[in-house]
Structure 1
Amino acid sequence: MRPAGRRTTGGSVASLFRLTAGHRRSIAVATGLTLAASAVGLAQPLLARRVVDSGARGEVLWPYLLLLSALFVAEAGAGATGRFLLDRMGEGVVRTVRHGLVSRLLRLEMRELDRRRRGDLVSRVTADTTLLRDVVSQALVDLLTGCLVSAGALLLMLWLDPLLLLLVVATVVLAAAVVTTLLKGMRKASEQMQSSVGAVAAELERALGALTVVRIYRAEEREARRIGARVDSAHGAGVRAAKLAAVMSSAVELAVQGSFLLVLVVGGMRVGSGGAESLGDLVAFLLYASYLVMPLSSVFRAIGLIQRGTGAYLRIDEVLALPEEPAQPPALAIPGPPPPGTPPALELTDVRFAYVPGRPVLRGATFTVPRRGLVAVVGRSGAGKSTLFSLIARLHDPDAGIIRFDGRPATALSRQECRAGIALVDQNTHVLEGTLRENLTYAALDATEDDIVRVVRLARLGDVVRRLPGGLDGRLGDHGGTLSAGERQRVALARALLARPRLLLLDEHTSHLDAVNETALTEALGAVTRDCAVLVITHRLATVRHADRIVVLEDGRTVASGRHDELLAGSPAYRELAAHLPPPDCCGG
């Protein structure tokens, strides 16, 4: 729960001002220039007063007119320079915030990331920060300078004519009361609009990510209506915010224009009746009354913009407050030297885990993976096989039990240390937008051309290289859209092999391969296991039969382990599984 102060205008201003850390010098210079321009502007009515009175006395006017022109030029130059500095500062703040958001999102705890919609998170990096830029580059300084300039104008008006000032203050206070009543609704409408924009991005990302399914099942109109509902919600909130802003603007405009008319009528009557003030005084007062329009408008506009920006800031701040993966192990868990002898590459002891408390997925997984050879994990769907890989890759941490890498507890190592020796090919076969070469070398940026040729041969990607325009430097499209499912799987496998890991994790790595490619890759893995440990999840009998050890997982527990023939003879659970494993010549398409 956020502190209540952040929901008030003062709290919002303080929170937004903290974002400008590192840019305070630019803000000070820009504010100084803006105030200087405003001071020059405040001097102009006094000079105009002198021109009017001097003209009435028949004095020479051109020096005053020349000075007045110089003041106009100085005001424009100082104002333009200050505005540029503020805009540049706003871009700098947004860059810093976006860097922070991107860094946080890429390091979020997986549990937290799984609860969030990707499109909404992207919207916070793009749409919300864009609105924030307008707030920090305009609203904060406009609020400060507007208040100071308004105060200066009011003091000069007080000096010229206190009675006329009372008329101006009365109308301005009335406008301020109207604006104050609208601020809460403005903030609420803005928050709803930003949330709806994020929902639009999330729904669109959902539909585009499954566009094949959408089209095959003729759901374009249904998805368009679903996304359109979010668009309509954003539109409705935006219209409400615009309506409130229009009322606020009109209230300020009416107050200032009304006060101007009152001053003109009352002041004109006083001058006409031979009052104390001169025509020059009335002209100067009227100029200040009209001059008051800009700073007062900027103050009320800044307040409204801050209310809209608060919604964006809270959404950004929510992401920045989300927990990320700890970079280092606990201070008390400093890893010591590896144990004597040759410990296994991986060891799990009574590992337990639940994504949701009270609904365990793993209830006691125990097995080891030697430094060389292939270990297969088999079990029914939902037995916890893929969850095991998430724990081994340190995407999640077990609720109980111990995972050891080379004899060292995972909790005594940083995640980077654990992952440094791991490569993973999962069921999703992630292929990134870019070239084939960029995808292959993603985990091995210093790979040589010979290394790349080697993994291309092992993964049987020669036909892909020959087909792509540009060969290894040919682009694969978003999510590898130019490749078939089997080709994406081979690209992911080649990427993993190029990293030369100590532990290679394969999750259904042949599920999309035909029998010829599956046989070839199975033979290639035989060579790979001479250099590293391979842990594979599979439903393919060809892989299981040739594994050095098979681990049987049932309801989150390790119930048996051994070679294929041993388990057929001694494990009823494995015999039942083996009876349903696809035969070696079954292809996945």
Structure 2
Amino acid sequence: MTRPLRPMMEPPAERTRDFKGSATRLLRRLVPQRGLTATVLLLGIGGIALGVVGPRILGHATDLLFNGVIGRELPAGLSKAEAVEQARARGDTTFADLLSGMDVVPGRGVDFDAVGRTLLLALGLYLVAALLIWLQARLLNVVVQRTMVAMRADVEAKVHRLPLSYFDTRQRGEVLSRVTNDVDNIQSSLSMTIAQLLTSILTVVAVLAMMLTISPLLTGITVVVVPLSLWATRTIARRSQKLFVAQWRNTGRLNAHIEETYSGFTVVKTFGHRAHAEDRFRDLNDDVYEASVGAQFLSGLVGPVTTFIGNISYVAVAVVGGLQVATGQITLGGIQAFIQYVRQFNQPLTQVASMYNTMQSGIASAERVFDLLDADEQVPDPPVPARVPDRAAGRVEFEHVHFGYRPGTPVISDLSLVAEPGSTVAIVGPTGAGKTTLVNLLMRFYEVDSGRILIDGVDITTMSRHDVRSRIGMVLQDTWLFGGTIYDNIAYGRPDATEDEVIAAATAAHVDRFVHTLPDGYATRVNDDGGNVSAGEKQLITIARAILARPHLLILDEATSSVDTRTEVLIQQATAELRRDRTSFIIAHRLSTIRDADVILVMEAGRIVESGTHDDLLARHGEYWAMTRA
């Protein structure tokens, strides 16, 4: 089970460090889709413009009906001005004021043909507007999905460019949470919010323009409460923002614990830590629950608060508008249309406020993903990498190498060694002596602080990492098998290998011996955590994979430390076949596995303190001799 490295992890921020900057950066990722984005914008403008005109046309239909009803009650043959004068003469000033603001013809009833044409026009506009908005939604979905495909590709490419130190200092589940949960949350947030934001902004602008054409006074009453809504939204959002950051930070911690527990489930069960693991899970789950409930509760207040503030303006418009209708300053259809516009004006503001929680959640996830994308990368390969000849001998040389995982804490100090072509170099020493670090430096998992490592006279820092690693085969203490068949796992070493070559590698590694005892043979499915093969058999599969790869150099890192004596013999036979005519490095605690090495290096505190053959080192009665007696 991977031990958590919490002390080495950077403490996460309690709130989004730059909400505006992260949101802007997220929106900039839509730029590659600017053609479709422009089309989406134009469709949105067209659809909303047609939809906004609708209430004004319906208001005109109301005026036609109302004018007809009033006109039918007036004596025919009078003009509108005469009808108004008669009303004033009777002392009916209110009716006279109402009549003066109407387009009425005394004696004429309702023009139902005109009303029908007006309603059909409104219906047609609404249908076209709906079609444009539907097309906008479809295209916007394409824009978002393409953007997320590009982001996932960027994240995947970034992961491969990150140095090994990035993963060594973070829990695997937490990194996985950024790559999966946070990216998925960004996608859902974009899908839910960007369309609503675009529609809301366009709707507010269009509705505001239409309201001004009806009544600037009523428009002012409607707009005056907007700052109050914005203030309320900002106040609530600032309180909930840090809870959304905590929600996704705690989700990452929970995922890390789950991944860690499931990966080491056998160890958890063996040492009786089930109760502890469950308690830890409950604590982390409670942290996610508390942060999520708090964030959703606070952000959920935004909608009701903004709705209440919007209703204040709605009531004020209804009262003042009614007085204006009564005084003839505005028609009944006009106030009807304006009230509809007030609803249309307040609705986008309320919707944007209500989905602010989704926006905050998405931006919190975006910031976590951007942190990954902004992480320091490994040193890039040279523009024109050097190459080792394909028929190179396989000479490896370390020249005065210095290295430390942390500044000021050296692990390797002024180390020099030469591995001659075809030789076997064994490296022994106590835990922490720097044995595995040598392998990490040779593979360029880490870069040396100073000094050089050369393969056949070529500095590996002048080569591409792919070229370096393609020449090296590794068999580690911890086996790694992916979910697939035994055949697929062996063929992973060289995907273009023929079936005969795969079988030959399996036979050389003694895999063929136990495969035929399995019901499905080479088609038996295995994985790294279990299945129907033992730990030793898994190790043999990894050796077969290395044999198939035909590496120029070979690294065996504690390849037999976790197997029984009989399997160890088989692995030694397999590795002996693998080491033939190859420069090999063997890291081992079991000294019995390195007796036949051409040279044995004894390391202590990052330095080589002894070197020689097995017999030479025993004769010196030094560190190696002491290790054989331990």
Q: TM-score, normalised by structure 1?
A: 0.91
Once the two structures are TM-superposed, the CA of residue 480 in structure 1 deviates from its matched residue by 4.9
Match of 1:315 in 2: 368
Once the two structures are TM-superposed, the CA of residue 316 in structure 1 deviates from its matched residue by 0.6
Aligned pairs (5 A) from 1:435-584: 435-580=485-630
Aligned pairs (5 A) from 1:128-277: 128-271=182-325, 273-277=326-330
* CA shift in 2, pair 1:359/1:487, >3 Å: same
* Higher mean C-alpha displacement, 357-366 vs 200-209: 357-366
Q: Distance in 1 between matches of 2:137 and 2:228?
A: 31
Q: Which amino acid aligns with 2:44?
A: T
Q: Structure 1 residue 39 and structure 2 residue 49: aligned? A: yes
Q: Distance in 2 between matches of 1:354 and 1:200?
A: 31
Q: Distance in 2 between matches of 1:342 and 1:65?
A: 86
> Residue 536 of structure 1 aligns to a residue in which SS?
strand
Per-residue Cα deviation, 1:550-581 (whole angstroms, up to 9, x for no partner): 1222222112222211211125111112223x
Q: Which amino acid aligns with 2:263?
A: G
Q: Distance in 2 between matches of 1:342 and 1:454?
A: 25
* CA shift in 2, pair 1:142/1:181, >3 Å: same
Once the two structures are TM-superposed, the CA of residue 481 in structure 1 deviates from its matched residue by 4.2
| Pairing partner for 1:284 from 337, 356, 372 | 337
* Higher mean C-alpha displacement, 356-365 vs 441-450: 356-365
Q: Which amino acid aligns with 1:17?
A: L
| Pairing partner for 1:293 from 346, 367, 383 | 346
Q: Distance in 1 between matches of 2:412 and 2:54?
A: 78
Once the two structures are TM-superposed, the CA of residue 126 in structure 1 deviates from its matched residue by 1.6
Match of 2:95 in 1: none
> Residue 545 of structure 1 aligns to a residue in which SS?
coil
* CA shift in 2, pair 1:25/1:186, >3 Å: farther
Match of 1:18 in 2: 28
Q: Distance in 2 between matches of 1:337 and 1:422?
A: 13
Per-residue Cα deviation, 1:519-572 (whole angstroms, up to 9, x for no partner): 333334444333311211112333222222212222221122222112111251
Q: Which amino acid aligns with 1:260?
A: Y
> Residue 23 of structure 1 aligns to a residue in which SS?
helix
Q: Distance in 2 between matches of 1:468 and 1:197?
A: 41
Q: Distance in 2 between matches of 1:65 and 1:379?
A: 91
Contact in 1 for aligned 2:473/2:549 (Cα 8 Å): yes
Q: Distance in 2 between matches of 1:138 and 1:18?
A: 17
Contact in 1 for aligned 2:536/2:567 (Cα 8 Å): no
Structure 2 stretches of 5 or more lacking a match? 1-9, 69-109
Contact in 1 for aligned 2:600/2:613 (Cα 8 Å): yes
Once the two structures are TM-superposed, the CA of residue 326 in structure 1 deviates from its matched residue by 3.0
* CA shift in 2, pair 1:33/1:329, >3 Å: same
Q: Distance in 1 between matches of 2:265 and 2:243?
A: 32
Per-residue Cα deviation, 1:440-495 (whole angstroms, up to 9, x for no partner): 12120111222211221122112442244432222103545443221121111111
* Higher mean C-alpha displacement, 133-142 vs 205-214: 133-142
Once the two structures are TM-superposed, the CA of residue 9 in structure 1 deviates from its matched residue by 5.5
Per-residue Cα deviation, 1:245-295 (whole angstroms, up to 9, x for no partner): 222111221122332232223322432x33321111111111111222332
Contact in 2 for aligned 1:493/1:509 (Cα 8 Å): no
Per-residue Cα deviation, 1:39-83 (whole angstroms, up to 9, x for no partner): 111111111011111122211222122222222222222222211
Q: Structure 1 residue 106 and structure 2 residue 160: aligned? A: yes
Q: Which amino acid aligns with 1:267?
A: G
| Pairing partner for 1:423 from 467, 473, 479 | 473
Per-residue Cα deviation, 1:339-369 (whole angstroms, up to 9, x for no partner): xx98652112232222222322222332222
Contact in 2 for aligned 1:256/1:292 (Cα 8 Å): no
Question: Percentage identity across aligned positions?
Answer: 31
Q: Distance in 1 between matches of 2:320 and 2:491?
A: 80
Match of 1:587 in 2: none
Match of 2:63 in 1: 53
* CA shift in 2, pair 1:264/1:464, >3 Å: farther
Per-residue Cα deviation, 1:192-216 (whole angstroms, up to 9, x for no partner): 1111111111111111111112112
Structure 1 stretches of 5 or more lacking a match? 581-589
Q: Structure 1 residue 391 and structure 2 residue 441: aligned? A: yes
> Residue 98 of structure 1 aligns to a residue in which SS?
helix
Contact in 1 for aligned 2:299/2:356 (Cα 8 Å): no
* CA shift in 2, pair 1:536/1:336, >3 Å: closer
Q: Distance in 2 between matches of 1:522 and 1:274?
A: 104
Q: Distance in 2 between matches of 1:147 and 1:526?
A: 72
Once the two structures are TM-superposed, the CA of residue 228 in structure 1 deviates from its matched residue by 2.3
* Higher mean C-alpha displacement, 116-125 vs 482-491: 482-491
Once the two structures are TM-superposed, the CA of residue 401 in structure 1 deviates from its matched residue by 2.4
* CA shift in 2, pair 1:115/1:35, >3 Å: same
* Higher mean C-alpha displacement, 196-205 vs 354-363: 354-363
Q: Distance in 2 between matches of 1:13 and 1:337?
A: 47
| Pairing partner for 1:27 from 10, 23, 37 | 37
Please give the root-mean-square deviation of Cα atoms over the aligned residues, in Å. Answer: 2.4
Once the two structures are TM-superposed, the CA of residue 149 in structure 1 deviates from its matched residue by 1.7
Q: Distance in 1 between matches of 2:588 and 2:18?
A: 57
Q: Which amino acid aligns with 2:468?
A: C
Per-residue Cα deviation, 1:176-199 (whole angstroms, up to 9, x for no partner): 221122222232222111111111
Contact in 2 for aligned 1:9/1:306 (Cα 8 Å): no
* Higher mean C-alpha displacement, 312-321 vs 405-414: 405-414
Contact in 2 for aligned 1:351/1:364 (Cα 8 Å): yes
Aligned length, in residue pairs:
572
* Higher mean C-alpha displacement, 390-399 vs 154-163: 154-163
Contact in 1 for aligned 2:543/2:574 (Cα 8 Å): no
Q: Which amino acid aligns with 2:300?
A: A
Once the two structures are TM-superposed, the CA of residue 419 in structure 1 deviates from its matched residue by 1.0
Q: TM-score, normalised by structure 2?
A: 0.85
Q: Distance in 1 between matches of 2:22 and 2:159?
A: 24
Which one has the largest radius of gyration? Answer: 2
> Residue 430 of structure 1 aligns to a residue in which SS?
coil
